[in-house]
Amino acid sequence: MNRTVQIGLAALALVALACLGSSAFIVNQAEQAIVLRFGAYRSTIKEPGLHFKQPFIEDVVFFDQRLLALDSADEQIILGDQKRVVVDTYTRYRIVDPLRFYQAVRNETTARGQLTQIVQSAMRRVMGTVMLPSILSEERTRIMQQLQQDVSEAAKSLGVAVVDVRIRRADLPEETSQAIYDRMKSERERQAKELRAQGYEWGQQIRARAERERTVILAEAQRQSQILRGDGDALANKAYADAFNQDPQFFALYRSLQAYRSALGDGTTMVLSPDSDFFRYFGNGPGRR
């Protein structure tokens, strides 16, 4: 009899421990929870610590109450000026209404999918009214504020509060960038050809002008040289004439000696008649007298 009582007490203790373990749960500082009774909402718990629920008939669903990040995939958007850009965005949000969040999406995976659609829809709506230069100007701040406001309004139905929505990168598509690069390259090549042609034309003009100036300078120099040469020849002839008039015989002798030196000084062999006029100063010719 005592043994049966001990077994019963032990069974009751085990049942009590199981009930106690099933009714107690802990909420961390980074978590929040809702209590469901047979799937129906019972209460919301946001305070961290040890809490209790009715065992076996109530369940606890935990949600993160920290700031969560959502990185969207690159998306191609048409701007207000009909230009296409590839936009990469990131979103920061927090679960502020666990009950609405549970009723709308159940879990964070589904919430991320719906929030991504909300961000993409707002992005197309806001960016579809702006021009490409606006994204790169001070107006970018206003665009971000408008985008965050639209996403926040749409995300309230999910029980989340959107803290920030930012455009991380906004680039032209690869094919558009390549086309722009090719067009820029063609334009630079055209400008280079124009500059080379203009430089060649200027070079031809400079060379023609220099050639003309060279011709003028050479002609002027030749003219001056002819004048100076003529003046020199005139002075030389005058000096010869004056010298000849002073002593014609000595002048003739002197000129003959110069001719002998030029003709016979380098060993040149000459066949001439002894009584020729060239040797008039040799022997008994008239030049000797």
pLDDT tens digits along 192-204: 999 999 999 999 9
What gap in Å lies between CA 263 and CA 189, rounded to an integer? 72
Q: What is the CA radius of gyration of the chain?
A: 58
Last residue of a domain, one of 137, 172, 207: 172
Report the domain count for the chain. Answer: 4
Low-confidence ranges of the chain (pLDDT < 70): 1-3, 5-21, 176-177, 264-268, 270, 272-289
Q: For residue 154, is it within any domain?
A: yes
Residues 49 and 110 in one domain: no
- CA 67 centroid distance within chain: 37
- Residue 33's nearest CA partner among 18, 19, 44 is 44
Residues 211 and 238 in one domain: yes
* DSSP classification of residue 139: T
**Helix/strand/coil (H/E/C) assignment for every residue in 32-46:** EEEEEECCEEEEEEC
- The amino acid sitting at 234 is A
User: pTM for this one?
Assistant: 0.58
> At CA 254, angle to CA 253 and CA 255, rounded to 5?
95
Which two tokens mark 147? 């985008």
Last residue of a domain, one of 140, 172, 204: 172
Which two tokens mark 116? 């991504």
Residues 89 and 166 in one domain: yes
269 lies in which domain range?
A: 248-289
Q: Sheet containing 40-45: give its strands across.
A: 40-45, 31-37, 58-64
Q: How far is CA 132 from CA 57, 80, 165, in A?
A: 58, 8, 19
Q: For residue 1, is it within any domain?
A: no
Which two tokens mark 88? 């990469």
Q: For residue 105, is it within any domain?
A: yes
- Block residue for tokens 């019963």: 8
Residue 38 confidence (pLDDT): 84
Residues 102 and 193 in one domain: no
Q: Is the distance from CB of 164 to CB of 70 less than 8 angstroms?
A: no
Q: For residue 164, is it within any domain?
A: yes
Residue 289 confidence (pLDDT): 47
Q: For residue 14, is it within any domain?
A: no
Residues 241 and 269 in one domain: no
What gap in Å lies between CA 289 and CA 282, rounded to an integer? 10
Residue 288 confidence (pLDDT): 47
Looking at residue 90, which CATH number applies to its domain?
3.30.479.30
Q: For residue 132, is it within any domain?
A: yes
Q: For residue 12, is it within any domain?
A: no
Residues 75 and 156 in one domain: yes
The dihedral sign for the CA sequence 96, 100, 106, 112: negative
What gap in Å lies between CA 29 and CA 46, rounded to an integer? 9
Q: For residue 162, is it within any domain?
A: yes
